[in-house]
């Protein structure tokens, strides 16, 4: 494991390099490396260099901002005042945000420099980063493969070393699945741990901002600043923030690790099962105790997830109507025509599919059969985890049912794409944190990830175990 940010920061604090030099270096990397990957969709070199110089000025004043030297990628669904936020959609072409995401502002305040905005599925809806108005992002391991989604650009950018750390958002696995596909670490924090203010909403009760990093030291340093209560987000939790870096001790002695039998089904792809088992073995060798557990309602997770998230999405995306900002159809004949054509032209197929589905499940006469029932499933899934965490400290699962797939391979079958989230959606349904770290590789050399789930606000414990799961020879970027 390497921690490119912490290494860069050490050089910066030694005076061996300036923040501006770091920024120049990373802008160069993006310029040369990005065309093949399409991981970044927007850069503003002048703003990046200005920001880097402000950090240098703080250093000259004797300050040591905790994230000084951090070269940060930001998913195109996170707002920064004065910068575009397009959500990889035609709908928001040319839209510039007036607000700062609380989470991003905290990182910038702590010395981070934004090097660019990263590609993603439109409005964070997708598992392959193919649903993007900017075109698909590519997996650095093999450009014919998807990087995963929806935060595919962020995962690819970190894996390719185009930035130290990137922010993503995770509604059903959108950080963890691309982290697994690209062989980097990705954390979906506990719901409420990181403010959602300034994150363009997909499904409000599921969305979390979280980091991608090449090493857990880098990830812990960024999480330290991301975490915290925000009065501007009513769902943000006012709970203490522990020392995340301090949890990376390598000690897991006596840690009880649950292995849910529903996730280790005999049909699990052996290419995935093998590296995941090796990671679990590393935990066991270090003193952790594997325990077989059951999460009986797992099989209802995907259905409940797609009912509830599309319901919320249909509501959250109602504001994009062409009336005030964003894409507006030309020469509308009346209000109805303005709405219908602006939304038809502005949204891509997957977004429209989910709006339709969500509108349907909230409709009068269908609400109880779909939305209300899915909420009950959500409660049951939460209950599964509550019961499990009475027996075990953490749960380990495969991150994905298979490795990164070829672009276009799910194009005609959205449902098969939805099923690629099968191991990740439950954490969002339950609001618990999930960390994906590299577990190893398939025989063909494709990254495989292991997912660690813990009780609410147990990110430090996930990091502690994650550092032990990490294959000793794996270098992410």
Binding site for another protein (CB under 8 A): 78-79, 85, 87, 92, 95, 97-99, 101, 196-201, 203-205, 231-235, 311-312, 314-315, 317-319, 321, 323-325, 335, 339, 359, 362-364, 367, 371
Nearer to another protein, 85 or 417 (CB): 85
Nearer to another protein (CB atom), residue 355 or residue 435:
355
Positions of E strands within 12-77? 40-42, 71-75
**Which CB sits closer to another protein, 232 or 416?**
232
Q: How far apart are CA 423 and CA 407, in angstroms?
A: 21
Distance CA 220, CA 461 (A): 11
Instruction: Name the minimum Å distance from CB 427 to another protein.
Output: 17
Catalytic positions, written as ranges:
75, 150, 174
Which residue's CB is nearer to another protein, number 21 or number 359?
359
Token pair, residue 403, equals: 């490795």
CA distances, 265 to each of 232, 270, 300, 317, 451 (Å): 42, 11, 15, 37, 15
Least Å distance, CB 338 to another protein, is 9
- Min separation Cβ 298 and another protein, Å: 23
Looking at the Cβ atoms of 39 and 78, the one nearer to another protein is 78
For residue 319, the minimal CB distance to another protein (Å) is 5
DSSP-derived letter for residue 369 is: I
447: CB partners within 8 A, 6+ apart: 141, 180, 181, 182, 183, 403, 404, 438, 441
Number of other residues whose CB lies within 10 A of the CB of residue 57: 11
Q: Which of 170, 169, 175 is nearest to 148 (CA)?
A: 175
Nearest CB to another protein, comparing residues 36 and 318 = 318
Q: How far is the CB of 326 from another protein (least distance, A)?
A: 8
Q: What are phi and psi of 124, to 5 degrees?
A: 65, 20
CA dist 472 and 158 (Å) reads: 19
Q: Quote the tokens at residue 78.
A: 């996170």
Which phi and psi (to 5°) does residue 365 adopt? 95, -20
Nearer to another protein, 294 or 379 (CB): 379
Question: What is the nearest approach in angstroms of another protein to the Cβ of residue 380?
Answer: 18
CA distance 240 to 265: 37
User: At residue 457, what are phi and psi to the nearest 5 degrees?
Assistant: 65, 30
Minimum distance, C-beta of residue 317 to another protein, in the bound complex (Å): 8
Q: Which candidate, 442, 147, 145, 77, places its Cα nearest to that of 271? A: 442
CA distances from 384 to 170, 295, 430, 461 (A): 21, 5, 9, 20
């Amino acid at each position: 494991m390497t921690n490119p940010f912490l290494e860069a920061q050490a050089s910066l604090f030694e005076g061996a390099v300036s923040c501006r030099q770091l920024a120049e270096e990373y802008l160069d990397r993006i310029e040369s490396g990005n065309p093949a990957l399409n991981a970044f969709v927007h850069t503003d070199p002048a703003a990046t260099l200005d920001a880097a110089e402000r950090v240098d000025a703080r250093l000259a004043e004797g300050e040591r901002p905790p994230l000084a030297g951090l070269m940060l990628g930001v998913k195109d669904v996170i707002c920064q005042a004065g910068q575009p936020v397009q959500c990889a959609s035609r709908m928001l072409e040319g839209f510039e945000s007036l607000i700062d995401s609380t989470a991003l502002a905290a990182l910038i305040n702590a010395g981070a420099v934004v090097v660019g905005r990263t590609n993603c599925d439109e409005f964070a809806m997708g598992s392959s980063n193919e649903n993007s108005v900017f075109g698909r992002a590519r997996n650095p391991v093999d450009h014919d493969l998807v990087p995963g989604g929806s935060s595919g650009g962020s995962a690819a950018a970190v894996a390719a070393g185009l930035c130290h750390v990137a922010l993503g958002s995770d509604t059903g696995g959108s950080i963890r699945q691309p982290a697994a596909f690209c062989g980097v670490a990705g954390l979906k924090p506990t719901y409420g741990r990181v403010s959602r203010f300034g994150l363009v909403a997909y499904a409000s009760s599921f969305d979390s901002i979280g980091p991608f990093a090449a090493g857990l030291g880098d990830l812990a340093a960024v999480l330290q600043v991301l975490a915290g209560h925000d009065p501007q987000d009513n769902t943000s939790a006012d709970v203490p923030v522990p020392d995340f870096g301090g949890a990376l001790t390598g000690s897991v002695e006596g840690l009880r690790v649950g292995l849910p039998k529903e996730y280790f089904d005999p049909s699990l792809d052996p290419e995935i099962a093998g590296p995941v088992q090796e990671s679990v073995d590393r935990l066991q060798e270090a003193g952790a105790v594997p325990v077989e557990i059951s999460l009986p309602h797992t099989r209802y997770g995907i259905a409940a997830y797609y009912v509830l998230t599309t319901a919320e999405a249909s509501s959250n995306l109602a504001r994009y109507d062409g009336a005030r900002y964003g894409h507006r159809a030309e020469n509308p004949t009346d209000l109805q025509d303005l709405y219908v054509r602006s939304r038809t032209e502005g949204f891509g197929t997957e977004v429209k599919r989910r709006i339709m589905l969500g509108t349907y499940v909230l409709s009068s006469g269908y609400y109880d059969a779909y939305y209300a029932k899915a909420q009950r499933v959500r409660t049951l899934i939460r209950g599964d985890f509550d019961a499990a965490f009475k027996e075990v400290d953490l749960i380990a699962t495969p991150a994905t049912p298979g490795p990164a797939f070829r672009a276009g391979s799910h194009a005609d079958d959205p449902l098969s794409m939805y099923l690629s989230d099968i191991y990740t959606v439950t954490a969002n349904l339950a609001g618990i944190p999930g960390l994906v770290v590299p577990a190893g590789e398939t025989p063909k050399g494709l990254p495989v990830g292991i997912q660690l789930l813990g009780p609410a606000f147990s990110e430090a414990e996930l990091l502690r175990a994650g550092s032990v799961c990490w294959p000793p020879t794996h270098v992410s970027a």
